[in-house]
Amino acid sequence: MALRRTVLCKYISQPGSARAVWINPARCEIGKYCSRLWRSSAVTRGRRNPFTWYNEMLEKYPIRTKCITSGVLYGVGDYIAQRAMANNENGFSDKRLLRAVIYGSVIMAPLAHVHFNFLEWLVVEKIAARASLVPFVKMFFDQFGYWAPAITVVYHVSMGAMEGLSYNETVERLKKLYWPTLKACWIIWPIVMVVNFKLIPVAHQLNFCLAVSLVWATILSVIRAPDSSSLSKLEEIEPACAEVLPVSHLPVDGAQ
């Protein structure tokens, strides 16, 4: 089967521009005049690297791919965090790990997918902010507008439900941890999100948050490992605060 490649050909492009077109190398009579600058993501199975394959899946199955990615990273983050706290008197918790995976894949990923795409539409198309201001306007809505305040509620309520807490217990925990969670979130995530919105494509913005969360949470876990007493409270705060923290390591176990 002939391969398909995307090429830029000066002989079939519009004047003053370079238009990408599909050309079959086996049948292209002017192929020697074409300069191949870009290759289709569907070039050949043998030559596809993992990143190319992942991008294909992200384009073809965006929500499904993000759910799997988020679940895996949340799980890895929780596993590392629990291992870092080896002196934790409760030992390793499979249930906590499972809660982190469920939260990351079933709750966080779908919501974050909608959130990042909505932000793109709101700020770039609806508000039409200047290009130089787009990252900052997005960060404002993300951290101080609706996302961080709302996802904090979602996090604590969903974790309470998975932990088997009653309605009253969940409400009490939310009242106790809501504000501390937001304050912890605002320590690092505004800066991270400006970088995210400035440099990362919309399709990968959730993954960027998860990667930063994984590194950040792991560092915190290692630093706090010797002090299990102060960790218990922090664990209930930081997860939800990290935007999409793969959390578990933190507090309640999970939370961009």
Q: How confident is the model at residue 57 (pLDDT cuts 50, 70, 90)?
A: very high
10 has pLDDT over 70: no
Residue 256 has which token pair?
Answer: 């961009």
User: At a CB cut-off of 8 Å and minimum separation 6, what does 98 contact?
Assistant: none
- Write down the pLDDT at residue 12: 43
5 has pLDDT over 60: no
pTM of the predicted model as reported, rounded to 2 decimal places: 0.70
Residue 53 has which token pair?
Answer: 């394959």
Q: How confident is the model at residue 221 (pLDDT cuts 50, 70, 90)?
A: low
- Return the higher-pLDDT residue of 92 and 141: 141
Q: What is the DSSP string of 156-186?
A: HHHHHHHTT--HHHHHHHHHHHHHHHHHHHH
- Write down the pLDDT at residue 1: 45
Share of the chain above pLDDT 90, in %: 43
Dist CA 87 CA 83 (whole Å): 9
Share of the chain above pLDDT 70, in %: 63
Is residue 239 within 8 A of residue 155, CB to CB? The reply is yes
Is residue 185 within 8 A of residue 178, CB to CB? The reply is no
Is residue 242 within 8 A of residue 216, CB to CB? The reply is yes
Dist CA 33 CA 13 (whole Å): 12
pLDDT in tens, 167-207: 999 999 899 889 988 888 898 899 999 999 999 999 999 99
